[in-house]
Structure 1
């Protein structure tokens, strides 16, 4: 079974990330692999971890975490095989809180697949591009398919000033395509995440 974290990438009061992530979880929950029990989804909100500005004395690549909040965050991320990052675009970039949360860890991100759901006036595409650069450094395989949410087209402002995220069929198709790629890459990378188990499952010489 593939464990996928839907990561809420903003901590700002009044944020829309909860609404967008809710749509992602509900839509992804109808994906055939999820319905068949081949994949499971979990919302992971960085706001729940109260991570201060990076305060670990050693670079994350050494894995010598000193602080309780880092160890808790590391234990959470380590459980997953893949990620869907849900991020707004702030000034042509991802939120500082998301970059901070990512920078806390290293090995826990390695050899896993990820997709991006971005949102903003221009669909959050510039934030997505910045996030792709960061994922490359962490040995995360970010998939090509991308969901770009535009508030003008994908939110309903009828009953709420903040709006409700209600993307149409086109965005649902894009999300399912992204999930197909995330699942395929996650399966392919299993040999790197679990080398002993993968080696044990191969047939021996004839």
Structure 2
């Protein structure tokens, strides 16, 4: 079976977002791995409308072509790393809307989390885990939380140092995340393939 394909999803769409800095660092680290392929998926590139379908695509076909394009992109992947910004103790509205624009594409796939902010987006990620469970996803245990002094070291409003300045602190957690995500991506990919085989018989 081919290597799993993983999406890094940037959850913030603000012009002044911090996300680009950790996203490029995360992408570079992910590309150094040989056990999965990776692609950066930026919500800015999809210009999604607010969810306005009769139901999720679990129950009725989606009509909006922009939402359909998003579903097709999400369907390409075997797992996801959400790069999470925390807005008022929750995930961004853009991310929640993007998640709601699909359903069947998320099912039986793992999700991992890299968060940033004063508490490393811990509160937002806890909420995102619950959302992912409702979508029949597999939230992995290990995550990366760029918070406290590490966040203010690399944030543009703080010292604005390169991500390498905090690697010694967060890279062990990132390696655990990659290992955990890869295991679940392979396991669920194999299981989905078996389901498809049985359904075709």
TM-score for both structures, normalised by structure 1: 0.86
Mapping 1:12-23, distance limit 5 Å: 12-23=14-25
Quick one: structure 1 residues 157 and 83, their matched pair in 2 at CA, closer, same or farther if it must change by over 3 Å? Answer: closer
Matched-pair contact (CA < 8 Å) for 1:155–1:165: no
Picking from 114, 119, 123, the partner of 1:117 is 114
SS in 1 for 2:141: strand
Quick one: structure 1 residues 107 and 146, their matched pair in 2 at CA, closer, same or farther if it must change by over 3 Å? Answer: same
TM-score for both structures, normalised by structure 2: 0.88
SS in 1 for 2:58: helix
1:148 and 2:150 are equivalent in the alignment: no
The Cα of 1:168 is off from its aligned counterpart by 1.9
Picking from 87, 104, 107, the partner of 1:107 is 104
* Distance of 1:101 and 1:6 partners within structure 2: 14
The Cα of 1:130 is off from its aligned counterpart by 0.4
Residue 189 of structure 1 aligns with which residue?
188
Mapping 1:84-95, distance limit 5 Å: 84-95=81-92
Picking from 61, 72, 97, the partner of 1:64 is 61
* Distance of 1:59 and 1:5 partners within structure 2: 22
Matched-pair contact (CA < 8 Å) for 1:157–1:164: yes
The Cα of 1:117 is off from its aligned counterpart by 0.4
1:44 and 2:41 are equivalent in the alignment: yes
SS in 1 for 2:144: strand
CA RMSD of aligned residues (A): 2.0
SS in 1 for 2:83: strand
The Cα of 1:61 is off from its aligned counterpart by 1.7
Residue 168 of structure 2 aligns with which residue?
169
Q: Structure 1 or 2: larger strand share?
A: 1
The Cα of 1:193 is off from its aligned counterpart by 2.0
* Distance of 2:162 and 2:93 partners within structure 1: 23
Residue 2 of structure 1 aligns with which residue?
4
* Distance of 1:134 and 1:196 partners within structure 2: 24
Matched-pair contact (CA < 8 Å) for 2:54–2:60: no
Unpaired runs of 5+ residues, structure 1, are 200-206
The Cα of 1:192 is off from its aligned counterpart by 3.2
* Distance of 1:157 and 1:187 partners within structure 2: 33
* Distance of 2:94 and 2:103 partners within structure 1: 16
